Amino acid sequence: MKNYSFIIIAFVFLTLIAEPANGQNFSQIRMTDLEKILSAKEDKLLVVNFWATWCPPCVKELPHFQKVAKEYNKEKVLFLLVSIDFPSQIDSHLRPFLKKNNVALDVALMMDTDQNEWIDKVDPSWQGNIPVTLMLNNVKKTRKFHSGDLDETELRNMINSLL
């Protein structure tokens, strides 16, 4: 129970179906998988962004996440981008997008396409819009849910307020 980071990383990237995305990997997850990640008991801030390739505000904010993520030690802050793109469009949309935009953060494709079945489990205030970002540390009992896109300063300030 000392190092849950290994469990989260292993769970997301080794036990799930990994799909190569031109030098990158992304996982295909279901809500039950995400629930396990979101309930992990480790002393790290987990930054989870829900987005899609077809969402202009989502695409606009992704470079901010990539830049800000480089500023933090992975021992303290973990980033996960949860794509809600359609699973049938992996090859036509998601994979080309990740390559074109050099997305280097961890990406998981949500395979449960009926958002009404799982958005309340992420946060009861979520109305289904994207992008949204959930930041949490279950050990410190900190949690922040942000609806809408974030710029670098807003993202950095939110992270710093929870560390």
Confidence of residue 12 (pLDDT cuts 50, 70, 90): very low
The residue ranges of DSSP E strands in 14-70, in sequence order, are 17-21, 24-29, 45-51
Q: Which domains does the chain have, with CATH numbers?
A: 4-162 (3.40.30.10)
pLDDT in tens, 79-108: 999 999 999 999 889 999 999 999 999 999
pLDDT on residue 17: 40
pLDDT on residue 156: 97
pLDDT on residue 25: 66
Q: Decide if pLDDT at 10 tops 90.
A: no
Q: What is the mean pLDDT of residues 51-62?
A: 96
First to last CA, the chain: 21
Residue scoring higher pLDDT (155 or 16)? 155
Two tokens, residue 97: 């997008």
8 Å CB contact between 94 and 20: no
Instruction: Report the mean per-residue pLDDT for the chain.
Output: 86
User: Read out DSSP for 93-132?
Assistant: IIHHHHHHTT--SEEEEE----GGGTHHHH-TT--S-S-E
**Whole-prediction pTM:** 0.84
pLDDT in tens, 102-152: 999 999 999 988 888 888 889 999 998 999 999 999 999 999 999 999 999
